[in-house]
Structure 1
Amino acid sequence: MTTQNIAFVAADTEEAQAARQRLAARYPSTDPENADVIVALGGDGFMIETLHRSIKRGVPIYGMNCGTVGFLMNQYDESDLPARLAVAQVARLHPLAMTARTIEGKTVRALALNEVSLLRETRQAAKIGIRIDGVVRMPELVCDGVLVATPAGSSAYNLSAHGPILPIGSNVLALTPISAFRPRRWRGALLPHSAEITFVIHESAKRPVSAVADYTEVRNIAEVRVREDRGTVLNLLFDPAHNLEERILMEQFQA
């Protein structure tokens, strides 16, 4: 791929900012608006922020880990960066589009690269009805919450909630309950990527629920619709030996 114009962006940490200064001194660089590729320095959270900022352009993002988990990042290495970028493999991702309506009637739209999660706001469990493509599949889920995860996000919050890890390119979404009380044995579902999921909040005033799409939170919701946005493509770059598909496969064999 073309790496003529590289932009370096960094998380607001001492480690990431120092790395950005060293790389900018070593390699010619430009600003993100004119870059052919953006090198993001930080952790997974900063990668998500960088992807959101570049959604309109779709410029490829190559992350180097200067954070903690770094699941979406490559190993930090300052040497031969143009050569690494030239052979990097592209993982093309589609975000989730969330449309949330509050009990006051306000509508909020947001995109999520990892998951859209619904979470109870108080000590009382949430009561949530679930429709898939207009068909009621779960009349009432009593729970702490429920989430819809993309394959790229399936190893994050979804995995912590005991949801399945989804291979990249599987064309499915994970629908996963969070601490389900009734039905107690329901463990979620795998849905085709074309499905539209609608969550209806029962007793929304008494049992308030918030909806979160990555870092966009909407409180006191009445209804949420979630679907995959196939019109939006995000491009992540990975070193060939540690591409995203391989990382997700390896995650399934972790103890």
Structure 2
Amino acid sequence: MKVTLVVNTRKTEAIDYKHAIEDHLSSKGVKVTSILEENYNRDDFFDTDAIVSIGGDGTMLRIAGVLRGQDTPILGVNAGHLGYLTEVSRIEQIPEAMDRLIRHDYIRDVRTMLHGSVRRNGEVISRGTALNEILVSRRNGISVMHFAVSCDGQELSNYTSDGIIFSTPTGSTAYNLSAGGPIVSPGSPVIVMTPICAHSTKSRPVVLSDSSRIQIRVESENEIVAFDGEHIIDLKQGDIVTVRKANEMTTLIKLREGSFLETLRKKMDNEH
């Protein structure tokens, strides 16, 4: 068995977790490799049986973006603030978690992703995938953006706002939540559309079927589209951004049932 560790060294506790995991897995005869920087690619994981992400939700999102649907399960070890995607949050949990990883004693939690493309003058100029969200927004804080949204060929609405978020159920607890969007259970077959600081009280979040094909026509300049905050593309007036459920998926390792609700409760308790 081979396990690859991806370590966010900006997290102060990450190196301690790394050493504890390496020592435990090596003592069980598991081959362990470690990646300490962000400049890795899909080929680094081609013969890996499992990935252990040591950092936070952002570290896991970067891994998911690199894997682009490769069916290698990811176990999240939290080395910062409480995350929604991570499963291990204390160093004393490492031995049991690694033993279960070796025994394949875990739940494979398959999460949907979003696919986005940018069309300019009839030609697709860029594509990307996201586990959390695809964001269309202004590049700077000077002006608002104007855009028109249609769904499955039918006009939905025209917006004047700071941007709009299209999130998966996984991403509903991220930027979407901060922008006033709803929290959605991870297995729900939906795409959540949430405007950011819309200049109309009638502009509300909309929950769409994940079979929907959504198009955003950009009607102003200085805009961008971002995939999980990583892959960022400059937009021009007249560009069309298409968002749909991706063919690719991300597989997370869950060590217990109901962990999403438990994490959600803890998050809400911490805010009081």
TM-score, structure 1 length as denominator? 0.87
C-alpha deviation, 1:179, in angstroms: 0.2
> For residue 62 of structure 2, what is the aligned residue in structure 1?
49
2:264, 2:120 → 1: CA distance? 35
- Match runs of 1:17-166 below 5 Å: 17-28=15-26, 29-31=31-33, 32-74=45-87, 75-76=89-90, 77-85=93-101, 86-101=104-119, 107-122=125-140, 123-138=142-157, 140-166=158-184
In the TM superposition, residue 251 of structure 1 has moved relative to its aligned partner by: 5.8
Distance in 1 between residues matched to 2:176 and 2:152, nearest whole Å: 22
CA contact (8 A) 1:166 1:248 kept: no
The superposition leaves residues 126-175 of structure 1 with CA deviations (integer Å, 9 ceiling, x where unpaired) of 1110000111111x201011111100000000000000111122211111
Are residues 58 and 248 of structure 1, via their aligned partners in 2, closer, same or farther at CA, if it must alter by over 3 Å? Answer: farther
Give the drift of 1:50.
1.5
Residue in structure 2 matched with residue 211 of structure 1 by the alignment: 225
Question: Is this contact kept in 1: 2:193–2:207, CA < 8 A?
Answer: yes
Q: Distance in 2 between matches of 1:35 and 1:244?
A: 26
Could you tell me which runs of 5 or more consecutive residues in structure 1 were left unpaired when the two chains were aligned. none
Contact 1:129–1:200 (8 Å) recurs in 2: yes
String of CA shifts for 1:182-225, please: whole Å, max 9, x gaps. Answer: 3x2321211000001100111x23xx211111111111242210
Deviation readout 1:212-250 (Å, 9 max, x if unpaired): 111111112422100001x21211012205533654577
**Alpha-carbon distance in 2 for matches of 1:245, 1:192:** 22
The 1:190–1:249 alpha-carbon spacing in structure 2 relative to 1, beyond 3 Å, is: farther
Does the 8 Å contact 1:165/1:248 carry over to 2?
no
Are residues 1:244 and 2:260 paired? Answer: yes
Displacement of 1:103 after TM fit?
7.7
Letter in 2 for 1:209: E
What SS does the aligned partner of 1:240 have? coil
What aligned pairs does 1:169-208 form with structure 2 within 5 A after superposition? 169-182=187-200, 184-202=201-219, 204-205=220-221, 208=222
Distance 1:193-1:129 versus aligned 2 partners, 3 A rule: same
Equivalent residues, number: 246
Query: After the TM superposition, which of the residue ranges 75-84 and 121-130 deviates more from structure 2?
Result: 75-84
Retained in 1: the 8 A contact 2:145–2:223?
yes
| Map of 2:2 onto structure 1 | 5
Name the stretch that deviates more: 208-217 or 144-153: 208-217
Q: Matched residue of 2:65: which SS?
A: helix
Tell me, what secondary structure is at the counterpart of 2:183? Answer: coil
Task: Give the Cα–Cα distance (whole angstroms) in 2 for the partners of residues 107 and 97 of structure 1.
Answer: 14
Question: Percent identity over the alignment?
Answer: 26
**SS in structure 2 opposite 1:232?**
strand
Which amino acid letter does the alignment assign opposite residue 7 of structure 2?
A
Task: Give the aligned CA root-mean-square deviation in angstroms.
Answer: 2.4
Runs of 4+ deviating beyond 4 Å: 102-106, 248-255
Q: Distance in 1 between matches of 2:94 and 2:183?
A: 31
TM-score normalised by the chain length of structure 2? 0.82
SS in 1 for 2:19: helix
Q: Of the candidates 12, 15, 20, which is equivalent to residue 13 of structure 2?
A: 15
| C-alpha separation in 1, matches of 2:152 and 2:171 | 22
Q: Deviations over 1:70-117 (max 9, x none)?
A: 221012322223333233222111210010235896611000110111
